[in-house]
Chain A
Amino acid sequence: MIRVVLPWHLRNLARVSDEVQLDLAGPVTQGAVLDALEARYPVLRGTIRDHGTVKRRPFIRFFACERDLSHQPPDTPLPDAVASGAEPLLVIGAIAGG
């Protein structure tokens, strides 16, 4: 079971009040988690990753286990603590005021 924490606006959009829990059959990679997240909540498609390129949107960051994973290739395995559900994957909207 994978835990994902979404920013406030995306929780509202997905109509979830807390962290999201996902089950993955295969390797726990950033891309696989986001695929599963978007399959469960289609409304999130295009809001974290670009529709066409499937690249991370510029103002989105991925943190876990006190590390910035934003720039890792999407097929990189996530930390064991994320794969085991001990730690969540944090989807963060870059802090930019306004």
Chain B
Amino acid sequence: MSRVRVLVGTKKGAFILSSDAKRARWDVSGPHFGGWEIYHVKGSPADPNRLYASQSSGWFGQVVQRSNDGGKTWDAVGNKFAYDGVPGTHQWYDGTPHPWEFKRVWHFEPSLTDPDTVYAGVEDAALFRSTDGGQNWEELPGLRGHGTGPQWAPGAGGMCLHTILLDPSHPKRMYVAISSAGAFRSDDAGKSWKAITKGLKSQYIPDPEAEVGHCVHRIAFNRARPDVLFMQKHWDVMRSDNAGDLWREISGNLPSDFGFVIDVHAHELETVYVVPIKSDSEHYPPDGKLRVYRSRKGGDEWEALTDGLPQSDCYVNVLRDSMAVDSLDPCGVYFGTTGGQVYASANAGDRWAPIVRDLPAVLSVEVQTLA
């Protein structure tokens, strides 16, 4: 019988939530690495027992943890992230040049085929790769070396590379997103990169249609149709039907098109989920109501999903790496909040229930569907 394992990173440790395919009763394991910020935990598609966790602290810096048994035991591996060559500068918040400085790993993306190969998206924004299970890390300098690098600037959360998508149908194609540089695609396994921002409009940069400077919060695709991308931008929910070459807005009737998370149903290619947040100044749901919005038409027309979610006095946020779907049928949808709740729906969002209510602020949620 299939099982699911939900990997939760929080401000004060990692938690692993496990259930059978009914997704009604949950076993909670953790905190792992108690007291540390766990930005992200993710399993290898090639070996689900191989997990990578980003463990971080303002005091002690970056630690990378690896598990070979699904999170029962962990070992620290390499934590040296050295930029290739002379790092140079990017823009600081006030537009002045600022040297590139490694701060933390925001996101791990394990290879689709090799458990020992894993990509790391870091702050200040760069893409690293390990091919020995995390022992050693090497930058893929073509991204930061993209001619626009000196123009990149941090978002409020830092200049983070937070999204990495590996295209299962084109092994050399990958996407990354950076706050607030924008989105990029490589068609040669990360050697060179192209900004994929045509169609984005951002009023908070001098040229709203500039090639870089867009604060992309998250990009998602369905693995069965990886040329169709969905984006939650700082403001605006966007869609591209041509691998990012051109975007169009699909915010439609959302109560707010600001937000962080976006994800796609595991089996329905046009079913998309977002969690609207009131504004970039407030960072909580509109009207104190925590609502997931679902479009079954690939955007533009959205329905509020509220059953089981707090509909009054709710002022949590849902951060960019905190939504995931499983691949069971019906599809399970999960998200975590800064209030420490991890909500699950075992029926594609129709009804929700908290798996846990009182964790530290949730930074990331990933789901593994296990045979």
> Within the complex, which residue of A9, A45, A59 is in contact with B36, where a contact is CB–CB below 8 Å?
A9
- Tell me, rounded to whole Å, the shortest Cβ–Cβ distance linking A36 to chain B: 19
- Is the CB–CB distance between A47 and B63 below 8 Å? yes
Q: How far is the CA of A9 from the CA of B56 in the complex (A)?
A: 11
Q: Is the CB of B76 within 8 A of A13?
A: yes
A-B contact count (CB 8 A): 42
Bitwise interface map of A from 7 to 36 toward B, beta carbon under 8 Å scored 1, else 0: 101100100000000000000000000000
Q: Judge whether A86 is part of the interface by a CB distance below 8 angstroms.
A: no
B79 near A46 with CB under 8 A, answer yes
B341 CB within 8 Å of chain A: no
Contact A59 B82, CB 8 Å, known A9-B36, A43-B76: no
Asked if A46 meets B80 with Cβ closer than 8 Å, knowing A9-B35, A9-B36, the reply is yes
A47-98 CB contacts (< 8 Å) to partner B: 47-48, 50-52, 57, 59-60, 93-94, 96
- A47-B61 contact in complex given A13-B76, A52-B82, C-beta closer than 8 Å: yes
**B interface majority secondary structure:** loop
**Of B59, B62, B79, B80, which one neighbours A60 at CB under 8 angstroms?**
B59
Closest to B35 in A: A9
Residues of chain A contacted by B79 (CB below 8 angstroms): 45-47, 51
The distance in angstroms between the C-alpha atoms of A13 and B62, with both chains bound, is 12
Partner of A59, one of B35, B59, B63, B80: B59
Are A9 and B76 in touch, CB under 8 angstroms?
no
Residues of B within 8 A of A43 (CB): 63, 76
A47, B82: Cβ atoms under 8 Å?
A: no
Q: Is B58's beta carbon under 8 Å from chain A?
A: yes
Interface size class of A (residues with CB under 8 A): 10 to 19
Known A-B contacts A46-B62, A47-B63; the reply to A9 vs B80 at CB < 8 A is no
- Nearest chain A CB to B130 CB, angstrom units: 15
Q: What residues on A are CB-neighbors of B80 within 8 Å?
A: 45-46, 51
Closest chain A residue to B62, Cβ basis = A46
The answer to whether residues A57 and B62 also contact, given A9-B35, A45-B79 and a CB cut-off of 8 A, is no
Interchain CB contact under 8 A, B62 and A59: no
Contacts of B62 in A (CB 8 A): 46
Report the bound CA distance from A10 to B55 in whole Å: 12
Q: Is the CB of B82 within 8 A of A93?
A: no
Chain B residues with CB under 8 Å of A47's CB are 60-61, 63, 79
Interface readout for B32-63 with A: 1 if CB under 8 Å, 0 if not?
00011000000000000000000001111111
Compute how far the CA of A50 lies from the CA of B79 in the bound complex, rounded to whole angstroms: 11
Instruction: Write the nearest CB–CB distance from A81 to chain B, whole angstroms.
Output: 26
Q: Which residues of B contact A52 (CB under 8 A)?
A: 82
List the B side residues contacting A48 at CB < 8 Å.
60
- 7 A-B pairs in the complex with CB atoms less than 8 angstroms apart: A7-B59, A43-B63, A46-B62, A46-B63, A47-B61, A51-B80, A52-B82
Chain B residues in the interface with A (C-beta under 8 A)? 35-36, 57-63, 76, 79-82
Question: Interface of A with B (CB < 8 Å)?
Answer: 7, 9-10, 13, 43, 45-48, 50-52, 57, 59-60, 93-94, 96
Closest 7 CB pairs of A and B: A47-B60, A59-B59, A93-B59, A43-B76, A51-B80, A46-B79, A46-B61
